[in-house]
Chain A
Amino acid sequence: MNTYLKLAAFDFRLYLRDGLTLFWILIYPILMLLIFGQIFGNQPGAIEGTRYIDSYVPALCVMNVLSVSVFTLQINMVTYRGSGILRRFRVTPVKKWNVLASHALQGVCLVLAGAAEILIVSKLVWNIDVTAAGIAQLLVSILFGCIGFFSLGFALSGLSNSPGAASGLAMIFFFPMLFLSGITMPLDIFPTFLQHVSEWIPMTYFVNLAQGVWLGGSIFSFGLEWAVLAGFAVLCLALAFLLFRWES
């Protein structure tokens, strides 16, 4: 455990020393929020009595999980491995899970910071309803989703050796999931065949869950969503360990 905590602190310090990437990860969701919120924010939402902004807040938190995982975590892991440090760790008692969990903790911090930002700005600008129960339910579902999506990022990091190739991979996963999961616009305005495509994207279930619990639904009433996310987590976690490499 000491190994893990020290490693996590070490990795996080190295990450923070690279200020530019942190800047982007904290600025991007706020830009999205202000742009889309400004355009659609006060329009009526999918559920009676809600506004678009009410569904957009949890969706953005979910998007943040995706961008942290495929951009930050994936590319960081590729760079980290490229530095040769994992090769060095391999001849110490450090285990695979120490490395993965250290980067995952970093991801959780970024996701939580992003969520806090989104909630505060939406409260100030659109005066959204914020309840303790809503926040708690949202956090539980987001953290659960992190397991699968972070693992996806780690699995992808095993596929490339250069940050360039890694960001290419990130794009391939990021944009389809962003547009086909209902994050930016509700799925009901999509053509039928695209709605069918979105049913095959795990992100869709993540968005549904986060929006559902945020808009007052019970955390226990999303059986399908929990099941899909759990299955996705198991699959990706296995892939993350399988594709983990100590050397570039």
Chain B
Amino acid sequence: METTNVANAIQLTQVRKQYGSAIAVQDMTFGVRQGEIFGIVGPNGAGKTTLIEMIEGLRTPDGGQIEVLGLDVGKHREALKQRYGVLLQSTSIPGRAKVRELLQLFSSFYRKTADVEQLSRSLRLDDKQQTAYKSLSGGWKQRVSLALALINDPEIVFLDEPSMGLDPNARSEMWEMIVRMRNEGRTIVVTTHYMEEAEALCDRIAVIDKGRLVALDTPRKLIARLGGNRRISFRNPGTAAQHRLSSLPYVVQADWLGEEIVLHSSNLDQTLKHLFRLAESENWLVSELRLGDATMNDVFSQLTLQERRQAQ
């Protein structure tokens, strides 16, 4: 692997992008360290795609600077394309193409390539070489996509929703492969909708909402930011008023998730005591009660909720 003398594999400084009067990305400053798995999470329309495409050099920012592997993206787009690999969502390959043809085609694009035989073996694609892409299952299609992303032995790999639509087995295999890529010294940038994925996989996570960076830290620290909060969830009785639940002692946040109500509490014992009292006085039952630690999901909903409140 080629080494560069910069601390960060990717550095964004004050990056801004707008489409007409709509601001897609603003004031974005952060760095991705060499050799880490860096997650970018955010709701749909948060600006993730625009952000990634600017880093890849496909879109030009309206302001700010982006450096990848120490090079200005705007000036070295073609050189950088030789040094990164991309996994897009699985629909982007003609179904009639065979695995071997795809690997040979993509390896012809690059000056430096990985050993195709070895790459196939390591992704267990060696006996799928003559199979048409369309007759592979979701998990195998993702393996092919991953092989294409790694065919130039890239220093940075961008993964767009790598486990979208995969069954749990295929998903955990995908995670193993991603971790292996990191252990080989590559820098991984992954966008995902699954908070579980972000939490399990990423060394650091950038939370993006409405084109802004709202938080950037390790999953553990992001969760700890909730103040060591615990999570109380129970079945929505249908009669409980939201404001009375959210004003229970030590409740920092109350979410209505369809059939389920989730409270975040900084003092579990006290909140529980008052929750049961409230239920009794209002004559409903706390059922299907579950207690747990806060997750990335909670961090995410709280952070994006805060943004929304501030915006109002």
Contact = CB atoms under 8 A, between A and B. Distances in A.
Interface of A: 2-3, 5-7, 10, 13-14, 17-18, 80, 83-85, 87-88, 90-94
B96 A17 contact: yes
Shortest 6 CB-CB contacts between residues of A and residues of B: A84-B92, A6-B108, A91-B86, A88-B92, A83-B94, A10-B105
A10 B101 contact: yes
A88 B96 CA distance: 16
Contacts of A92: 81, 86, 106, 109-110
B88 interface: yes
A14 B105 contact: no
Contact of B104 (A6, A14, A94): A6
B92 to A, nearest CB: 3
Interface of B: 56, 58, 78, 81-82, 84, 86, 88, 91-97, 101, 104-106, 108-110, 148, 158
A18 B96 contact: yes
Contacts of A94: 109
Contacts of A87: 88, 92
Nearest to A246: B58
A2 to B, nearest CB: 5
B82 A93 contact: yes
Contact of A93 (B58, B78, B158): B78
A6 B97 CA distance: 13
A93 B109 contact: yes
Nearest to B93: A85
Residue among B56, B78, B94 with max Cβ neighbours from chain A (10 Å): B94
A157 to B, nearest CB: 16
A93 B104 contact: no
Given A93-B110, A94-B109, A88 B101 contact: no
Contacts of B82: 93
B105 to A, nearest CB: 5
Contacts of A85: 92-94
Contact of B101 (A13, A80, A83, A84): A13
B152 to A, nearest CB: 8
Query: What's the dominant secondary structure at chain A's contact region?
Result: helix
Contacts of A10: 97, 101, 105
Contacts of B78: 93
A13 B106 CA distance: 15
A7 B101 CA distance: 10
Contacts of B109: 3, 92-94
Contacts of B106: 92
Contacts of B91: 83-84
A70 to B, nearest CB: 22
Contacts of A80: 94
Given A2-B108, A90-B58, 8 more contacts: A6-B108, A10-B105, A14-B97, A83-B95, A87-B88, A87-B92, A91-B56, A91-B84
A195 B108 CA distance: 51
Nearest to A98: B109
A14 B97 CA distance: 7
Contacts of B148: 88
Contacts of B86: 88, 91-92
B55 to A, nearest CB: 11
Contacts of A14: 94, 96-97
Nearest to A84: B92
A3 B94 contact: no
A88 B133 CA distance: 15
A7 to B, nearest CB: 7
28 contacts: A2-B108, A3-B108, A3-B109, A5-B108, A6-B104, A6-B105, A7-B108, A10-B97, A14-B96, A17-B96, A80-B94, A83-B95, A84-B92, A84-B93, A85-B92, A85-B93, A88-B88, A88-B93, A88-B148, A91-B58, A91-B81, A91-B84, A91-B86, A91-B88, A91-B158, A92-B86, A92-B106, A92-B110
Contact of A7 (B58, B96, B105): B105
A83 B93 contact: yes
A194 B104 CA distance: 53
Nearest to B105: A10
Nearest to B108: A6
Contacts of A90: 58
A6 B91 CA distance: 22
B108 A84 contact: no
A84 B91 CA distance: 7
